[in-house]
Amino acid sequence: MLQKLAQIEEEALAALANIQDEAALEAWRIANMGRSAPVMSVFSQMGALSKEERPLVGQRANQVKLAIESAFAQKAEEVKQAALQKSLASERLDVTLPGRPLRQGRLHPATQNLRRILSILGEMGFQVYTSREVESDEYNFQLLNIPPYHPAREMQDTFYIETGVTEEAERQVLRTHTSPGQIRAMRQFAAENPPNPPEIRIALPGMVYRFEQITSRSEVQFNQVEGLVVGKNITFGDLKGTLAEFVRRMFGRSAKTRFRASYFPFTEPSAEMDVECFVCGGKGCGVCKKSGWLEILGCGMVHPTVLQNGGYDPAVYSGFAFGMGPERQLMLRHKITDIRYLWGNDMRFLEQF
């Protein structure tokens, strides 16, 4: 009997060794572990054994059964792993095929850029103030210290609105800068408390217009962002410090600035601020025309006449203002060589942002 058990074990394990797939394994399981398995028949024949033989055979039969079961479990795991490997191998995708396309919406690059600027200014306490685009000559020029026929008008070629009025001072214009908003804001805030108007720290974004031919370098419309600070202790040093900080947030902590004397009728002293060229790091390149500097914004201390026109007493209040062309910065940053791309709205351009 013991010999038979040894044979059963040997044959079962030998048969198991050759098995590769689950079907054969299942057939083997039924044959060797099922009700009619040889080892089971040994159990059923136990009754015919002698008292002495019975425990020996019983113990041995259990050993064989356990060995077969354990071998099965091990084989089953092997077969399962092999099957999984096979299936994984057969399910290999070309991961380089493109994903399923979605319709992707985007904001216009000018919007994205404008938001970036306004968000930095916002962190610095500048609140956004928006105002109208068709302006009176008075607001666009005269209240900003630019009387009719002033030479400074030549700095801003102007679109005029057909109103039947020809006297320059009475005409309507497409605003040439967002500066009329300075007057509108000052007057609005000053009206809240005329004897002691509140301090101002605002950003004035929006579209402005210049009478120019549309070329790769000039446009009839473009955005401008101005800043206006009015208070009782505002100095030229504050102007420099605030703008240098803006530039560091906009172009990186290491961005360097340079201030040059300039002229704007509505500020005095006036300055032009340059930023060290972020393309070449100041070494000189095509973008900065080999100068190492990029002209980024114009600024200055608010002219006393302008403060006065806004309802702020220049003997008590002082302030600074600055203005920049966001699209110019956008073009510099992305090396866009043709400004017409912006309002051309070609999908091939817009989809790159």
Sheet containing strand 293-302, edge to edge, reads 127-128, 200-209, 221-231, 318-324, 293-302, 267-276, 257-264
CA distances 306 to 22, 38, 127, 266, 267, Å, are 91, 110, 20, 6, 8
Rg for the chain, CA atoms, rounded = 42
**Residue 198 sits in the site that holds another protein (CB under 8 A):** yes
Q: Which stretch binds another protein (CB under 8 A): 1-9, 45-53, 83-91, 128-136?
A: 128-136
Of the candidates 148, 118, 147, 113, which has an alpha carbon nearest to the alpha carbon of residue 130? 118
Closer Cβ to another protein, 5 or 271, answer by number: 271
Task: Report 287-316 residues binding Zn ion (CB under 5 A).
Answer: 287-288
**Residue 172 sits in the site that holds another protein (CB under 8 A):** yes
Q: Which of 16, 121, 190, 229 binds another protein (CB under 8 A)?
A: 229
- φ/ψ (deg, to 5) at 344: -75, -30
**Residue 351 sits in the site that holds another protein (CB under 8 A):** yes
Q: Which of 28, 318, 321, 329 binds another protein (CB under 8 A)?
A: 318
> Could you tell me which residues come within 8 angstroms of residue 342 by beta carbon, excluding any fewer than 6 positions away?
109, 110, 219, 222, 327, 330, 336
Q: Which stretch binds Zn ion (CB under 5 A): 11-19, 129-137, 146-154, 282-290?
A: 282-290
Q: Check: CB of residue 42 under 8 Å from CB of residue 57.
A: yes
**Residue 285 sits in the site that holds Zn ion (CB under 5 A):** yes
In angstroms, the CA 221 to CA 218 distance is 9
In angstroms, the CA 255 to CA 128 distance is 25
The least distance separating Zn ion from the CB of residue 289, rounded to whole angstroms, comes to 8
The least distance separating Zn ion from the CB of residue 190, rounded to whole angstroms, comes to 43
**Residue 152 sits in the site that holds another protein (CB under 8 A):** yes
Q: Which of 66, 78, 214, 286 binds another protein (CB under 8 A)?
A: 214
**Residue 336 sits in the site that holds another protein (CB under 8 A):** no
Amino acid identity at 91: E
Residue 127 binds which entry of another protein, Zn ion, none, CB below 5-8 Å type-dependent: another protein
The least distance separating another protein from the CB of residue 122, rounded to whole angstroms, comes to 10
Q: Which stretch binds another protein (CB under 8 A): 25-33, 63-71, 81-89, 252-260?
A: 252-260
The least distance separating another protein from the CB of residue 229, rounded to whole angstroms, comes to 7
**Residue 236 sits in the site that holds another protein (CB under 8 A):** yes
**Residue 263 sits in the site that holds another protein (CB under 8 A):** yes
- φ/ψ (deg, to 5) at 147: -70, 165
The least distance separating another protein from the CB of residue 231, rounded to whole angstroms, comes to 4
- φ/ψ (deg, to 5) at 158: -115, 140
Residue 108 binds which entry of another protein, Zn ion, none, CB below 5-8 Å type-dependent: another protein
Strands 200-209 and 127-128, by their bridges, are parallel
In angstroms, the CA 93 to CA 149 distance is 73
Q: Which stretch binds another protein (CB under 8 A): 2-10, 56-64, 72-80, 203-211?
A: 203-211
- Residue 14 host element (H or E): helix 2-17
Residue 279 binds which entry of Zn ion, another protein, none, CB below 5-8 Å type-dependent: Zn ion
The angle, 0 to 180 degrees and rounded to 10, between the axes of the packed helices 109-123 and 326-334 is 110
Task: Report 222-281 residues binding Zn ion (CB under 5 A).
Answer: 277, 279-280
In angstroms, the CA 233 to CA 256 distance is 26
**Residue 102 sits in the site that holds another protein (CB under 8 A):** yes
Closer Cβ to another protein, 32 or 242, answer by number: 242
Binding site for Zn ion (CB under 5 A): 277, 279-280, 285, 287-288
